[in-house]
Amino acid sequence: MSEPTYECRVLALREKLHLSQVELARRAGLTRQAVNMIERGLSIPSVTTALRLSEVLGCPITDLFQKPETEQIVSVTLSSANPDFPQNRVRLAEVGGRWIAVPFLAPDSGEFGEADGRIVSRDGPRGEVKLLGAPDHFRNNLLVAGCDPALAILRDLWKRHYDEGAIRWQNLNSSAAITALRYGEAHIAGVHFPDAESQRQAIAQLPMDVVLVRFARWEQGWMLPRGNPLNFRSVEDLTSKKVTLVNRNTGAGSRLLLDSLLAQGGIKPEKVQGYGNTAPTHFACAQNIREGLANVAIGLRAVADACGLDFVPVQEVGFNLVVPKVLLDFPPAARMLDLLQARRFQRQLGDLPGYETTETGKVLTAS
Tell me if the pTM is above 0.85.
no
- Rounded Cα distance between 9 and 248, Å, is 51
What mean pLDDT comes out for the span 178-184?
A: 96
- Rounded Cα distance between 199 and 294, Å, is 29
Given this structure, which CATH class describes domain 140-367? alpha beta
> Confidence class of residue 163 from pLDDT cuts 50, 70 and 90?
confident
> Confidence class of residue 3 from pLDDT cuts 50, 70 and 90?
very low
Q: For residue 161, what pLDDT is reported?
A: 87
Residue type, position 339, single letter: L
In the Cβ-directed half-sphere of 290, how many Cα atoms lie within 13 Å? 13
Phi and psi dihedrals of 276, rounded to 5?
-85, -5
Give CA separation, 336 vs 2, 152, 223, 361, in Å: 46, 13, 31, 10
Chain centre to alpha carbon of residue 174: 15
Question: Same fold for the domain at 7-66 and the one at 140-367?
Answer: no
Q: For residue 136, what pLDDT is reported?
A: 85
Q: For residue 112, what pLDDT is reported?
A: 66
Report the 10 Å Cβ neighbour count for 127.
Answer: 21
Q: For residue 83, what pLDDT is reported?
A: 81
> Mean pLDDT for the chain?
91
Q: Which residue has the higher pLDDT, 30 or 44?
A: 30
Nearest Cα to 100, choosing from 85, 78, 131, 115? 78
What mean pLDDT comes out for the span 340-356?
A: 95
Q: Degrees (nearest 5) of the Cα angle 85, 157, 60?
A: 95
Dihedral sign for Cα atoms in the order 172, 178, 183, 186: positive
Q: For residue 87, what pLDDT is reported?
A: 80
Please check the confidence at residue 69 and state whether its pLDDT lies above 90. no
What's the topology of domain 7-66? Answer: 434 Repressor (Amino-terminal Domain) (1.10.260)
Q: State the distance between the two ends of the chain, measured CA to CA, in whole angstroms.
A: 63
| Domain residue limits, the chain | 7-66, 70-135, 140-367
> Confidence class of residue 133 from pLDDT cuts 50, 70 and 90?
confident
Q: What is the 3-state secondary structure (H, E, C) of the chain?
A: CCCCCCEECHHHHHHHCCCCHHHHHHHHCCCHHHHHHHHCCCCCCCHHHHHHHHHHHCCCHHHHEECCCCCCEEEEEECCCCCCCCCCEEEEEEECCEEEEEECCHHHHCCCCCCCEEEEEEECCEEEEEECCCHHHHCCCEEEEECCCCHHHHHHHHHHHCCCCCEEEEECCHHHHHHHHHCCCCCEEEECCCCHHHHHHHHCCCCCCEEEEEEEEEEEEEEECCCCCCCCCCHHHHHCCCCCECEECCCCHHHHHHHHHHHHCCCCHHHCCCCCCEECCHHHHHHHHHCCCCCEEEEEHHHHHHCCCEEEEEEEEEEEEEEEHHHCCCHHHHHHHHHHCCHHHHHHHHCCCCEECCCCCCEEEEC
Nearest Cα to 156, choosing from 117, 192, 200, 111? 111
- Rounded Cα distance between 35 and 237, Å, is 78
Q: Are 228 and 240 in contact (CB under 8 A)?
A: no
pLDDT tens by residue, 230-264 = 999 999 999 999 999 999 999 899 999 999 999 99
